[in-house]
Structure 1
Amino acid sequence: MSAPDATGTITVNAAPESVYALVSDPAALAALAEEYAGHRWLDGASAPAVGARFRGSNRRGFRRWSTLSTITDAARDRFAFEVTSFGLPVARWQYDIEPTGEGCVVTESTWDRRPAWWRYPTSLATGVWRRAEQNRANIETTLARLKYRAEGA
């Protein structure tokens, strides 16, 4: 796989299982993320599992949009999903969790999967013209909130 377009890492003084429970729960993740605001499970799914799909609600200022996400990885050390919109690829989001003696190191990464011609309409819809730069800032915020919540602060 190619290098991610945006990534960030943080050390969390909490059990890896607790951190995984937060990043793999779309409802909990919505409370931590900057643009992602909520979800609705599809096709009878009710929990994270490979192949499960959910409709994601996103927001940035007055802008609102939805996406379709399919979970591709759901193991103790990795949670990931592929995002599409109107049947077109948008992004891959991935959370890697590496246990340490005191807790774990969490790396959040994203890959921009949009075809070149699809970037202008999606940037217009979201108001983000420098997606990689914005995602780096969003990841930093999400990881800080994850650390705060997981450590019970």
Structure 2
Amino acid sequence: MYADLPTARATVQISATPEAVWALVSDIHLMVKLSEELLEVTWLDGAGEPDVGTRFRGRSFHEALGEWESTSTVIEFKPNSAFTWEVNAGQDVRPSSVWGFSVEPCAVGTELSQWGQMGPGRSGLNHAIDRLPHKEEKIVANRIGEFQAGLESNLRLIKELAEGAR
């Protein structure tokens, strides 16, 4: 159920330094190249790189949801360690989703995790749930499956980039 804050998470080990991996995951423009949904990102308020409180606008497209813009705010930024942002896709003051990366040293170099949480605020998905409340569980499961596939694809591509840059 959407109210349960469904979350997808993926982790990969990368034969590269945490600093090399961090340089990739802290570049919001790289996410456009990795994501099938994210079309464009732009820093707001004169920001040019992430830090707690900085904001960026994203433009996304999904075949079933259409095109939309959202504003994200960085809520955690610890260099070479953690980068988390919340997305507000509408009038709701609560985030419609929360996304993050964590970077940790490990035996092979770096363990990289990415996660995405739906809610607690409303998003485009809620319009489908409002129309078909009896199918909420299936709608959420399908979308969280898309989140999971996207995270796994992102991490695979980041791994290729980081290991190719050695």
Which moved further from structure 2: 32-41 or 89-98?
A: 32-41
Q: Could you say if the C-alpha distance between residues 150 and 54 of structure 1 is closer, same or farther in structure 2, counting changes exceeding 3 Å?
A: same
CA distance in 1, matches of 2:88, 2:63: 21
2:116 is the counterpart of 1:110 = yes
**Equivalent position of 1:5 in the other structure:** 7
2:126 is the counterpart of 1:120 = yes
CA distance in 2, matches of 1:13, 1:108: 17
User: Counterpart of 2:107 in structure 1: which amino acid?
Assistant: G
2:147 is the counterpart of 1:144 = no
**Equivalent position of 1:80 in the other structure:** 84
SS at match of 1:130: helix
**Equivalent position of 1:43 in the other structure:** 45
Query: Equivalent pairs: percent with the same residue?
Result: 32
User: Counterpart of 2:29 in structure 1: which amino acid?
Assistant: A
Q: TM-score scaled to structure 1, two decimals?
A: 0.85
User: Counterpart of 1:73 in structure 2: which amino acid?
Assistant: E
CA distance in 1, matches of 2:123, 2:34: 31
Task: Show structure 1 runs of 5+ residues with no match.
Answer: none
**Equivalent position of 2:55 in the other structure:** 53
Q: Which of the numbers 127, 133, 137 marks the counterpart of 2:145?
A: 133
CA distance in 2, matches of 1:74, 1:28: 17
The number of aligned residues is 150
Q: TM-score scaled to structure 2, two decimals?
A: 0.79
The structural deviation recorded for 1:122 is 6.8
CA distance in 2, matches of 1:142, 1:108: 8
Task: Show structure 2 runs of 5+ residues with no match.
Answer: 131-138
2:71 is the counterpart of 1:65 = no
**Off by >6 Å, runs of 4+ in structure 1:** none
